[in-house]
Amino acid sequence: MGDAKADPNERARQYRARAEECLRLSESRTLPAFEVQYLRHVAQCYSELALAEEKRAAEQASEGNIAV
């Protein structure tokens, strides 16, 4: 496992974990609607970041520049 700064797959994994955490928080507590909406928005942002990192990892792999 490489440094998260250098490894897009690791960053994607971390972003996905943060997205899941935000979703868990939004569902597991009695929160005002605006807080639930905010947490879901943040989860969506983290999911989009994860997708971008996965795309970057795929591009690097296809170019032969796999991060170590």
6-47 tens-digit pLDDT:
799 999 999 999 999 999 999 987 899 999 999 999 999 999
Contact 63, 4 (CB under 8 A): no
Q: Could you give the CA distance from residue 67 to residue 60 in angstroms, rounded to a whole number?
A: 8
pTM for the structure as a whole: 0.81
Q: Could you give the CA distance from residue 51 to residue 67 in angstroms, rounded to a whole number?
A: 17
Contact 47, 34 (CB under 8 A): no
- The residues, ordered by sequence, that sit 6+ positions from 25 with a Cβ below 8 Å of its Cβ are 39
